[in-house]
């Protein structure tokens, strides 16, 4: 199934957290931090949202940092993704 976001929405998938520390220590599942970096899978068209013209600044394939509690988590074809507003994206990682 393909998902197509509307308006200023962006579909992202969390990038897996590191399983080892810089010192080589392997982390247990409960010790891993929730990833804040995600990859953009789909981008809405932007346009007029709540009376404001919205231009989309992210594109498919970008790595982004999002707010901790932003968006709605959904499961599509067994894969967990999150749908967020572009305004919930804090930065693009280069």
Please give the sequence-ordered ranges of beta strands (E in DSSP) within the chain, or none if there are none.
9-14, 37-43, 47-49, 52-54, 63-66, 72-76, 79-85, 89-93
Query: How many domains are contained in the chain?
Result: 1
Residue 32 confidence (pLDDT) = 46
Do the domain assignments include residue 73? Answer: yes
- Tell me the per-residue pLDDT of 49-60, one tens digit each, with 9 for 90 and over: 888 999 999 999
Average pLDDT of span 72-93: 94
Q: Which residue range(s) make up the domain with 40?
A: 9-93
pLDDT band at residue 68, thresholds of 50, 70 and 90? confident
67, part of any domain: yes
We report the CATH number of the domain holding residue 49 as 2.30.33.40
Instruction: Report long-range pairs for 56-61 (Cβ below 8 Å, ≥24 apart).
Output: 56/8, 56/10, 56/86, 57/86, 57/92, 58/10, 58/86, 58/89, 58/92
pTM of the shown model = 0.80
How does residue 19 score in pLDDT terms, banded at 50, 70 and 90?
A: low
> Does the residue 2 lie in any domain?
no
Nearest CA among 87, 71, 83, 91 for reference residue 4: 83
């Amino acid at each position: 199934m393909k998902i197509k976001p509307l308006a200023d929405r962006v579909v992202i998938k969390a990038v897996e957290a590191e399983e080892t520390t810089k010192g080589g220590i392997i982390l247990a599942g409960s010790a891993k931090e929730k990833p804040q970096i995600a990859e953009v899978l789909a981008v809405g068209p932007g346009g007029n949202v709540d009376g404001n013209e919205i231009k989309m600044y992210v594109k498919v394939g970008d790595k982004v940092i999002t707010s901790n509690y932003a968006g709605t988590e959904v499961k599509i074809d067994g894969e967990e993704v999150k749908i967020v507003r572009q305004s919930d994206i804090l930065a693009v990682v280069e």
